[in-house]
Amino acid sequence: MKAVRYYGKGDVRVETDVPEPELRPGGVLVKPAFTGLCGSDLHLYYNGAIPPAPPSTTQAHPVTGETLPIILGHEFSGTVVAVADDVDGLKVGDNVTIDPVSGCGECDACRAQAYNTCGQMACRGISGGGGGLSELVSVPAGWAHPIGDIPLDQAAMFDPLCVGYHGVRKSGATAGDVVLVGGAGPVGLLTAAVLKGIGATVIVSEPTANRRAAAEGAGIADRIVDPAGEDLQAVVAELTDGRGADIAYDCAGVEAVIDDLLNALRAGGRLEMLAVYPEAPKINLLTVLFKELVIEGSVGYDHHAFPGAIKLVQEGKIDLAPFITARIKADDFVKDGLEFLEEHKDAQIKMVVEL
């Protein structure tokens, strides 16, 4: 079959003779429709291994059992084309989105269904297991989520949407809260979309003009701030009668953003950290101390995220269509995808790939 495979840093190939996966007990075969191109794909291509680490050419991943090369694509949707005899709840023809994350199944985190914090966590399309940039994928039935009539191109965005959904759920945000999202990349925009969908008052802080425009065009923010030209703390104070934001979400992965968010929080507020940093950031703990703030990490998502996020989209509380800004073919994955985004880092919100 045709697939896009990762052989290591700087080596991605479109191949046509990749063996087809087998239908396994408890699983389904899915024909992928669309796959989102993610910043993780860029990092793999230009910088090499990142957590959750891909295997090497000699060392198999402990969960997937695969060595390089692996099939890329961890944000994808598709259609069920075969169902194992012992599977209920899915049938041939169902459109699904795929949860790509799994764990060892044996540690405390996995037993609590928090596989996103498993020490051996694997991500399909990064760690092996078969990715969406292929003609066929074998998936455990519990990791294939029916999407009803949600368009398949939009359903390829449930992975980053679930990152935002998980962070919002962990933070305890509710309707009426005043919340602040730092960074309007794909995860920041989709986090804001979840917050708007549950009825929060959303402030987005983003220095890049086209990302601010994306937030405005999607209608996911009550106020959009350019922190390079505006005093974020003053804007938040004005909007909250001097109180400060209830919750802030770090979706930027930029150290300076943390200080901005901490300063804009009310006393007793919460900072939810969703961004991944290349190295440990410095945090002003005196601000945390004297305002009695709570800082919490939120990595990926757990088993609650996909059903909850799908429900918000099906109820019309989130519109994913505005976030798709480009479509390419798998044959052009390197040139029009990876290389284009490396040269034009902020040119797209979400690029989806069709085989």
* pLDDT tens-place string over residues 79-116: 999 999 999 999 999 999 999 999 999 999 999 999 99
**Most distant CA atoms of the chain, gap in Å:** 63
Q: Are residues 52 and 131 in the same domain?
A: yes
Beta-sheet pairing, 265-273 with 294-297: parallel
Residues 16-45 have a mean pLDDT of 96
Q: Are residues 231 and 134 in the same domain?
A: no
Q: What is the CATH number for 207? A: 3.40.50.720
Count the neighbouring beta carbons within 10 Å of the beta carbon of residue 141: 19
**What letters, b where the CB count within 10 A reaches 16 and e where it falls short, cover 26-52?**
ebbbbebbbbbbbbbbbbbbeeeeeeb
Q: Are residues 103 and 10 in the same domain?
A: yes
Q: Are residues 131 and 241 in the same domain?
A: no
In a domain, 169, yes or no: yes
On the question of pLDDT at 303 being above 90, the answer is: no
The predicted pLDDT at position 192 comes to 98
In a domain, 16, yes or no: yes
Q: Are residues 149 and 261 in the same domain?
A: no
Q: Are residues 55 and 142 in the same domain?
A: yes
Q: Measuring CA to CA, which residue among 259, 224, 266 is closest to residue 241?
A: 266
In a domain, 134, yes or no: yes
Cβ–Cβ under 8 Å, residues 89 and 141? yes
Structure tokens at 164: 């935002």
Residues 296-325 have a mean pLDDT of 96
Confidence of residue 52 (pLDDT cuts 50, 70, 90): confident
The predicted pLDDT at position 29 comes to 98
In a domain, 306, yes or no: no
Q: Are residues 327 and 224 in the same domain?
A: no
Cβ–Cβ under 8 Å, residues 131 and 12? no
Cα–Cα distances in angstroms (integers) from residue 308 to residues 31, 145, 350, in the given order: 24, 11, 21
In a domain, 246, yes or no: yes
Q: Are residues 152 and 182 in the same domain?
A: no
On the question of pLDDT at 346 being above 90, the answer is: no
Which tens digit of pLDDT belongs to each residue from 123-168?
A: 999 999 999 999 999 999 999 999 999 999 999 999 999 999 999 9
Mean pLDDT (the chain, rounded): 96
Q: Are residues 150 and 74 in the same domain?
A: yes
The predicted pLDDT at position 41 comes to 95
Percent of the chain with pLDDT over 90: 94
Q: What is the CATH number for 153? A: 3.90.180.10
On the question of pLDDT at 279 being above 90, the answer is: no
On the question of pLDDT at 53 being above 80, the answer is: no
Q: Are residues 226 and 128 in the same domain?
A: no
Confidence of residue 345 (pLDDT cuts 50, 70, 90): confident
In a domain, 39, yes or no: yes
Residues 213-237 have a mean pLDDT of 97
In a domain, 304, yes or no: no
Residues 289-311 have a mean pLDDT of 96
Cβ–Cβ under 8 Å, residues 118 and 109? yes
The dihedrals phi and psi of 244, each to the nearest 5 degrees, come to 105, 165
* Beta strand extents in 9-162 (DSSP E only): 11-15, 27-37, 70-71, 75-83, 95-98, 101-102, 122-123, 137-140, 144-146
Cβ–Cβ under 8 Å, residues 80 and 94? yes
Total structural domains in the chain?
2
- Give the domain extent around 186: 161-297
Name the pTM for this structure.
Answer: 0.96
Q: Are residues 152 and 45 in the same domain?
A: yes
Q: Are residues 169 and 148 in the same domain?
A: no
Cα–Cα distances in angstroms (integers) from residue 208 to residues 195, 252, 266, 290, 317, in the given order: 21, 12, 26, 32, 26
Cis check for the bond before 100: say yes or no (omega within 30 of 0). Answer: no
In a domain, 95, yes or no: yes
